Amino acid sequence: MSGDKTFDFTVTRSAHPVADAKREAILANPGFGKAFTDHMVMIDWNIDKGWYNPRVVPYGPLSLDPATSVLHYAQEIFEGMKAYRSTDNVVRLFRPEANAARFNQSAARMAMAQLPEDLFVEAVNQLVRIDRGWIPTGEGQSLYLRPFMFANGVYLGVKPSSDYLFMVIASPVGSYFSGKAVNVWVSENYTRAAPGGTGAAKCGGNYAAGLLAQAEASEHECDQVLFLDAVERKWVEEMGGMNIFFVRDDKTIVTPPLGTILPGITRNAVMTMAREQGYTVVEEPLAIDQIYADAASGRITEAFACGTAAVITPIGAFRHAAGTCRIGLDGSNGPVTGALRDGLVNVQRGTAPDTHGWVHTID
- β-strands 10-11, 252-255: how paired? unpaired
Cβ 82 to ligand PLP shortest distance, Å: 9
For ligand PLP, give the closer residue by CB, 199 or 350.
199
State yes or no: residue 85 binds ligand PLP (CB under 6 A): no
State yes or no: residue 147 binds ligand PLP (CB under 6 A): no
- In 141-231, which residue ranges form alpha helices assigned H by DSSP? 204-219
State yes or no: residue 80 binds ligand PLP (CB under 6 A): yes
Residues 279-338 that bind ligand PLP (CB under 6 A): 307-308
Binding window for ligand PLP (CB under 6 A); candidates: 30-38, 104-112, 263-271, 341-349: 263-271
State yes or no: residue 264 binds ligand PLP (CB under 6 A): yes
Helix or strand holding residue 27 (H, E): helix 20-28
For ligand PLP, give the closer residue by CB, 300 or 312.
312
State yes or no: residue 184 binds ligand PLP (CB under 6 A): no
Q: Which residue in the set 191, 243, 333, 337 belongs to the binding site for ligand PLP (CB under 6 A)? A: 243
Cβ 64 to ligand PLP shortest distance, Å: 24
* Rounded Cα distance, 343 and 73, in Å: 41
For ligand PLP, give the closer residue by CB, 64 or 258.
258
Q: Which residue in the set 202, 319, 320, 341 belongs to the binding site for ligand PLP (CB under 6 A)? A: 202
Helix or strand holding residue 106 (H, E): helix 96-109
Q: Which residue in the set 17, 136, 241, 343 belongs to the binding site for ligand PLP (CB under 6 A)? A: 241
Cβ 147 to ligand PLP shortest distance, Å: 12
* Rounded Cα distance, 138 and 85, in Å: 9
For ligand PLP, give the closer residue by CB, 165 or 262.
262
State yes or no: residue 262 binds ligand PLP (CB under 6 A): yes
State yes or no: residue 254 binds ligand PLP (CB under 6 A): no
Cβ 299 to ligand PLP shortest distance, Å: 25
Q: Are 258 and 264 in contact (CB under 8 A)?
A: no
Q: How far is CA 29 from CA 37, 90, 164, in A?
A: 15, 21, 35
Q: Are 16 and 135 in contact (CB under 8 A)?
A: no
Binding window for ligand PLP (CB under 6 A); candidates: 19-27, 234-242, 290-298, 339-347: 234-242
Binding window for ligand PLP (CB under 6 A); candidates: 106-114, 123-131, 178-186, 239-247: 239-247
Question: Which residues lie below 8 Å from residue 149, measured CB to CB, with a gap of 6+?
Answer: 76, 77, 78, 103, 107, 112, 113, 115, 164, 165, 166, 167
Cβ 243 to ligand PLP shortest distance, Å: 5
State yes or no: residue 33 binds ligand PLP (CB under 6 A): no
- Cβ burial 242-270 (10 Å sphere, 16+ → b, else e): bbbbbbbeeeebbbbeeebbbbbbbbebb
Binding window for ligand PLP (CB under 6 A); candidates: 258-266, 275-283, 312-320, 330-338: 258-266
State yes or no: residue 265 binds ligand PLP (CB under 6 A): yes
Q: Which residue in the set 107, 217, 228, 242 belongs to the binding site for ligand PLP (CB under 6 A)? A: 242
* Rounded Cα distance, 300 and 202, in Å: 30
Which of 252, 269, 217 lies closest to 95, judged by CA? 269
Binding window for ligand PLP (CB under 6 A); candidates: 61-69, 125-133, 262-270, 355-363: 262-270
Reported in sequence order, the residue ranges of 59-161 that DSSP labels E, i.e. its strands, are 76-78, 81-85, 91-94, 142-151
In 3-state terms the chain splits into helix, strand, coil percentages (rounded to 5) of 25, 30, 45
* Rounded Cα distance, 283 and 279, in Å: 13
Question: Which residues lie below 8 Å from residue 5, measured CB to CB, with a gap of 6+?
Answer: 118
Binding-site size, ligand PLP (CB under 6 A): 13
By CB under 6 A, name the binding residues for ligand PLP.
80, 202, 238, 241-243, 262, 264-267, 307-308
